[in-house]
Structure 1
Amino acid sequence: MTETPNPNIIDADTLTGEMRPIRRVVIGLGSNLGERMSALQGAVDAIADTPDVWVTSVSPVYETEPLDAPAGSKSFLNAVVLADTTLAANRLLDRALAIEDAYDRERSEVPNSPRTLDVDLIVVGDRRSDTETLVLPHPRAAERAFVLQPWHDLEPEAELPDHGPIADLLARVGDQHITRRDDLALEVE
């Protein structure tokens, strides 16, 4: 994955004149509580409505068994959104958290607990981050078929920075019980 679809494209802020590169963003979506499909569509709409973010494509929807989740967790619906943006990674993270909050995401001390909506930044251009609030690329994306398969559907030649081609990563993760749901589709308006 490159820094931008075209590294020569730069966006200038209309108020400040500041030049900002356009970066390709990969965003993972998931929901296993409540109206799962409605939450995913709402997230796609909210991302598309974010200033300085341009959604370029949305993957098929996959139903996935919970991975490393508490006993009794219901299956997830998952998808990946590709977008171009001039926003900084921290501003994108703030937006992702706000979208989750709008869908009543409850945070838990229990890892991988059920949630109404999960909005994860997988890749933001070639940015690297290792802070308490943001790790880029996403630290577990290389191990998750529910991220890799929908992303592969959109960009079969893509690479996860520091990990390699997503096709190779997908071949390594094995069967994680994901099923493509062709009866469900997310739309970009």
Structure 2
Amino acid sequence: MSDADQRPAFVALGGNLGGERAVFARLCAATAGLRERLHACAIRASPVYRSAPVGPVQEQPRFLNAVIVCSVPSALSPRDILVQLLALEASLGRRRDQSPAQGPRTIDLDLLFVAEERAASPGPPRLSLPHPRIAERAFVLQPLADLQGLDWVMPGIGRSVGDCLGRPEVAAQRATLEPYPERLVTRVAADPVNARVEP
């Protein structure tokens, strides 16, 4: 497949239920699953970060967060990609109808960008490109900076990653991020909860 037949899709990954080892294993399983489900011929993963809850539900465990960018076939629409993300979440134990908004979850896969496309559809499933609130979330912006650099101007937002990270409220979130000691891999054993991470 030529470069002209592909485009980048950015996906944020997170979770906080079951203990850090189980969450990390699910993030690895999700990364491997995205490669397969999206027919991605290339994939890059940011470092993983521990992050404090953001939003109204503060009494919950810290999250593990990362961002990956996949080179996916141009024939896949943003909705096609979103449907695959939701199916992958469900296969890893996520029940969106049982999770409070911004509450604890086994796995969370959010479609951030697909090349420079913009979209707004009530669904179901609801689709917004770029994903809402990216510019307000250090746990998304810092991994994007690791992948794309601080000067990268985010499609549909029109501001650089560094500019958004420099806002006082976001800088305060950024100061609480802690690097997780392991990197995401793209292949894991069959059991996504007790998986042995494989290179």
TM over 0.5: yes
Deviation at 1:62, TM superposition (A): 0.1
Which residue in the other structure is 1:18 paired with?
Answer: none
Secondary structure of the 1:57 match is strand
- Superposed, which structure 2 residues align to 1:92-111 within 5 Å? 92-107=81-96, 108=98, 110-111=100-101
Which residue among 133, 156, 161 is the counterpart of 1:162?
Answer: 156
Deviations 1:115-139, CA, capped at 9 Å, x for gaps: 0000000000111111111000001
Deviation at 1:113, TM superposition (A): 1.2
Q: Give RMSD over aligned pairs.
A: 1.6
In structure 1, C-alpha distance between the alignment counterparts of 2:140 and 2:38, rounded to whole Å: 25
Bigger helix share = 2
Secondary structure of the 1:160 match is coil
Runs of 4+ in 1 over 6 A off after TM superposition: none
In structure 1, C-alpha distance between the alignment counterparts of 2:101 and 2:166, rounded to whole Å: 25
Unaligned runs of 5+ in 2: 188-199
In structure 1, C-alpha distance between the alignment counterparts of 2:133 and 2:54, rounded to whole Å: 11
Unaligned runs of 5+ in 1: 1-7, 12-21
Which residue in the other structure is 2:12 paired with?
Answer: 28
Distance 1:187 1:70, change over 3 A: same
Which residue in the other structure is 1:75 paired with?
Answer: 62
Q: Could you tell me which amino acid in structure 1 is paired with residue 184 of structure 2? A: L
Residues 66 and 74 in structure 1, CA contact (< 8 A), matched pair in contact too: yes
In structure 1, C-alpha distance between the alignment counterparts of 2:111 and 2:100, rounded to whole Å: 20
Number of aligned positions between the proteins:
171
- Superposed, which structure 2 residues align to 1:5-44 within 5 Å? 9-11=3-5, 22-34=6-18, 35-44=22-31
Deviates more, 1:159-168 or 1:80-89: 159-168
Which residue in the other structure is 2:190 paired with?
Answer: none
Of all paired residues, the percent bearing the same amino acid is 34
Deviation at 1:51, TM superposition (A): 4.4
Which residue in the other structure is 1:60 paired with?
Answer: 47
Q: Could you tell me which amino acid in structure 1 is paired with residue 148 of structure 2? A: E
Which residue in the other structure is 2:184 paired with?
Answer: 186
Distance 1:154 1:94, change over 3 A: same
Secondary structure of the 2:166 match is helix
Residues 118 and 156 in structure 2, CA contact (< 8 A), matched pair in contact too: no
Deviations 1:90-130, CA, capped at 9 Å, x for gaps: 11001100111011112246320110000000000111111
Deviation at 1:174, TM superposition (A): 1.6
In structure 1, C-alpha distance between the alignment counterparts of 2:39 and 2:99, rounded to whole Å: 33
Q: Could you tell me which amino acid in structure 2 is paired with residue 174 of structure 1? A: A
TM-score, reference length from structure 1: 0.84
Residues 50 and 62 in structure 2, CA contact (< 8 A), matched pair in contact too: yes
